[in-house]
Structure 1
Amino acid sequence: MRLYSRRQLISVAFSSAVLVLLLAIGFGVIRVLPGTAAKPGAQQVSRSEPFALQTNHVRSDEVLTARSGNGLSESELENIRIYENRNQAVVNVSTETVSYNWFLEPVPRPGTSGSGSIIDNRGYILTNAHVVERAFKVHVTLADGDRYDGEVVGVDPENDLAVVRFDPQGRDLVTIPMGTSEDLRVGQKVLAIGNPFALDRTLTVGIVSGLGRPVRTSNDLVIRDMIQTDASINPGNSGGPLLDAGGRMIGINTVIYSPSGGSIGIGFAVPVDTARRVVPDLIEFGAVRRGWIDIVPRQLFPQLVQYAELPVEEGILISQVVSGGNAEAAGLRGGRRNQAVRYGSTVIYLGGDIITRVDGVATRSLANLYEALEDKRPGDEVRVVYLRGGAQRETTVVLAKRPEQFQWE
């Protein structure tokens, strides 16, 4: 026979009494007296109504954005409408490169992968220069998965832009209209479509976070007037369109600022107005025809300034001028042959003029000189401020066509 302690017996007896009391109330044996179920002023809950949460939500008629019948806001419907109308014009651009084995035989290898926008129904695609850099073959994949061979028509490394063309074989292509980046405002909504991490035609939404940003690329070139956005831009988005709320292209997604390589809310796009300016040249000539001053420029650096006892620490030294060129015609002077010095493998002729400003842009570096002439064409005139013997002078130069490379010694 099992023994029970006094505490256990009391607990069992109390539990039994409570159970009997509840059963009696349930069967109506015991009635709750009127007025004893609730105290005066207390809220009574009706058994016929479900329990309601006490909330402080803003009423639907006070929400700033009116909602449609299917529960989507006007902003959401706008995003959907833009995506459905534009994603068909966004393509995947992939490349193959060539390397060589130990027997000097060419070996094809997978290259880069990015995005692009169809801008012409003849098969012209606008993308980034770094997407097709060193490409041996180019492949274009459309929204429906159809794949075409493409070719690089033209490249502008200074703005990280390129044009690729494929033969649509009579297919009716959807194109993206170009807007303008001139009147953009910080805070306005933007949408980015691309292929991040090979996830085809991904849409991200953000705002214009900043304007006029100078961004230095991996090739040590500075792209002017970049659009900063917090719309997620990841590897694979490069070359895809940045759209405004009307579905017009206002930029070409280019780079992200991220120590980890992923998006942290700081992305950049080349303004579409820059693309408008360079695309015709890329299609017609394969490169951008930019104006140039016929000189061999050398950027000042501390050792040179100290050795030559120059009057300024920053500027562009004219090492040589082209005989009969526009610089000579404008009165600019190069260095003297008998004052040649060597810095590494570079020969510098001292004694020439030092350019400090071109068309209002301070030329502290070669990048600044390229920046000042980036949107100038052959035949344009620029004002050049320079130093000669410590005295400041000015002249006007009619720009010539910039050579692809310098061959002077």
Structure 2
Amino acid sequence: QSQSSPYPFGGGGGSSQAQGSGFIYDTKGDIVTNEHVVDGATSIRVTFWDGSSYTGKVVGTDTSTDLAVVHVDAPSSKLHPLTLASSSGVHVGDGVVAIGSPFGLEGTVTSGIVSALHRQIDAPDNFPIANAIQTDAAINHGNSGGVLLNLNGDVIGVTAQIESDSGGNDGVGFAIPSDSVRQVADGLIANGKVSHAYLGVSIQTSNGGVSVGSVRSGSPASRAGLRSSDVITSLDGTSVKTANALEALISAKKPGDHVTLTIRRSGATRSVAVTLGTRPS
């Protein structure tokens, strides 16, 4: 049965509290939520669907994807992991359900559709999160870290952000895709942290490719000889026509991976070999 685990977070010294949502990831007691939900928490309390609550311990966090794993020592009867579907199989127009605790209203279920795919949203560290899923299912404060399910009840994303002029639900919500969730959660559980590939340039979409704005000193791009005003047209033979597309390809790589960029410079086309680095914290 699909279930979300909403939980309040106690602030230090009773000075403040924050609240978010999460879901059971495995039978060991690992729960996935958003990094911004647990950021700065000095104590964590996880409340299950039946009202029982347990002390939570942060296993690891990743600001670059706004994901975190919290562990609870709860009996196996409480731990019913959700199944993650591959977000690569999601299509625009698919029906979805969001479960979370908006405004502290635990176990709230809303429905909608997938409005768009391959959106880019900003992580807490201001790096881009690629391939976010846009939905019109109602998402509000307190939904953060909750699940976006397909109509089979499988997780396709973790709800993270809304776009709103009013501060409330305007029908434009975003979820971190399940393929990213699986990769990051497994890494956090195994190692307590994850690393992300890093090129070290500012980019923007331009005619026929992706224009390089600035090149960070000492970065992999700098060492490979990339220059400001270069236009990147492909990575490892895959054409890139937008900045989002290039960032998604880089995000799918690992630090230390070797890639070949095809660029245009001063009217000439050339190939540049780059060894990707580790994204700075």
Instruction: Please give the range of the TM-score, normalised by the shorter of the 2 chains.
Output: 0.7 to 0.9
Counterpart-to-counterpart distance in 1, 2:219 and 2:130:
27
Residue 377 of structure 1: aligned partner: 254
Per-residue deviation, 1:219: 4.9
The reply to whether residue 229 of structure 1 matches residue 143 of structure 2 is no
Is 1:86 paired with 2:6? no
Deviations, residues 214-262 of structure 1 (Å, cap 9, x unaligned): 2235653322211111111111111111111111111111111211111
Inter-CA distance 210–147: structure 2 relative to 1 (3 Å threshold): same
Q: Give runs of aligned pairs for residues 243-282 of structure 1, distance below 5 A.
A: 243-282=149-188
Structure 2: how far apart are the matches of 1:192 and 1:243? 6
Structure 1, unmatched stretches of 5+, are: 1-84, 99-106, 302-311, 334-351
Deviation at 1:389, TM superposition (A): 8.4
Structure with greater contact order relative to length (CA < 8 Å, sep ≥ 6): 2
Q: What's the CA shift string for 1:245-302, capped at 9, x where partnerless?
A: 1111111111112111111221111111111222111111222222345xxx46499x
SS in 1 for 2:171: coil
Q: Measure the CA separation in 1 of the matches of 2:59 and 2:111.
A: 31
- Asked if structure 2 preserves the Cα contact closer than 8 Å seen for 1:186 and 1:209, the reply is yes
Q: Secondary structure at the match of 2:22?
A: strand
Determine the C-alpha separation between the residues in 1 that align with 2:211 and 2:254: 30
- Percent identity between matched residues is 37
Of 100, 103, 117, the residue aligned with 1:211 is: 117
Larger helix percent:
1
Instruction: Report the TM-score, using the length of structure 1 for normalisation.
Output: 0.59
Q: Residues 63-93 of structure 1: CA distance to partner in whole angstroms, max 9, x if unpaired?
A: xxxxxxxxxxxxxxxxxxxxxx213xx1113
CA-to-aligned-CA distance 1:39-72 (integer Å, 9 cap, x gap): xxxxxxxxxxxxxxxxxxxxxxxxxxxxxxxxxx
Distance (Å, rounded) in 1 between the aligned partners of 2:113 and 2:68: 25
* Matched residue, 1:176: 82
Distance change (3 Å), C-alpha of 1:314 and 1:298? closer
SS in 2 for 1:86: coil
Q: In terms of Rg, which structure is larger? A: 1
Is 1:398 the counterpart of 2:266 in the alignment? no
Structure 1 letter corresponding to 2:2: R
Higher strand share: 2
Is 1:320 aligned to residue 218 of structure 2?
Answer: yes
2:97 is the counterpart of 1:191: yes
Structure-1 residue corresponding to 2:207: none
What does the per-residue CA deviation read over 1:345-384, in whole Å, with 9 as the maximum and x for residues that have no partner?
A: xxxxxxx7446437255797xx987654222113432123
Q: CA deviation at 1:385?
A: 4.4
Note the C-alpha offset of 1:211: 1.4
Helix, strand or coil at the partner of 1:278: helix
SS at match of 1:246: coil
Letter in 1 for 2:17: G
In the alignment of these two chains, the number of paired residues is: 271
Q: Which sections of structure 2, spanning at least 5 residues, go unmatched?
A: 205-209
Contact 2:23–2:81, Cα closer than 8 Å, also in 1: yes
Q: CA deviation at 1:392?
A: 5.3
RMSD: 3.1
Alignment-derived partner of residue 238 in structure 1: 144
Q: Confirm or deny: 8 A CA contact 1:353 1:386 kept in the other structure.
A: no
The CA distance in 1 between the partners of 2:169 and 2:150, in whole Å, is: 20
